[in-house]
Amino acid sequence: MRLRTARAGLAVLCLVAAAGCQAGQLQFKNDHRLSFVSPQARHRVTMPLTISWTMKDFDAVGLDGSRDKGRGVFAVFVDRAPMPVGKDLRWVGHKDTSCKRDPRCPDAKYLADRGVLVTTETSVTLDVLPSAPDGAGDEQHYVNVVLLDGTGHRIGESAWYRPFTSKRRSSS
């Protein structure tokens, strides 16, 4: 009987402790500063494709060396996840030994070849999309837009995602 009472007491203690945890203290929050203008979510697109958005409370001034969280550049990741929070653009080439040895790497061409575009504009135009694996139907694509400070480091956890499709290219 005592063992059963002890277990019941332990269960009550665990419930009380769990009730003290507040989900509101998590850092997850919706960030509505960026709104996509085009393309529409999950719509079929044609090339060239312009991805455009509007942004509130962020000044896109360029890679000016500033660590200010309210200014910097947009990084657009095409069909790939962005770098982790706090990492900089060099993270894109962190597994590439040739990039590790070159202090100029990654440059704009290196990034673009890997589906990463850095801009102060609120739009980018893509002439081609990465090839999707073989399959049937339309190709599924997406972009992620994140904010970088003036040193190229990702600012916070916010990322904005837009999925879309394109006609599958014939294999010729």
Q: Provide the pLDDT for residue 1.
A: 57
**88: closest CA among 158, 161, 149?**
149
The predicted structure's pLDDT at residue 16: 41
Smallest CA-to-CA distance from 63 within 88, 99, 83 is with 88
Cβ neighbours of residue 137 closer than 8 Å, sequence gap 6 or more = 168
Give me the tens of pLDDT residue by residue for the chain, a chain 172 residues long: 565 555 555 454 444 444 444 444 445 678 999 999 999 999 999 999 999 999 999 999 999 999 999 999 999 999 999 999 999 999 999 999 999 899 899 999 999 999 999 999 999 999 999 887 666 678 999 999 999 999 999 999 999 999 999 987 765 5
Domain boundaries defined on the chain: 27-166
- Can you tell me whether residue 50 is helix, strand or coil? strand
pLDDT at residue 40 in the model = 96
Asked whether the beta carbons of 139 and 165 are under 8 A apart, the reply is yes
Residue 117 pLDDT: 98
Least Cα distance to 116 among 140, 134, 94 occurs for 94
- Residue 9: per-residue pLDDT: 52
What CATH number does the domain located at 27-166 have? 2.60.40
Say which amino acid occupies 21: C
Longest dimension (CA), the chain: 77
**Distance separating alpha carbons of residues 147 and 155, to the nearest angstrom:** 6
Q: What is the pLDDT of residue 35?
A: 97
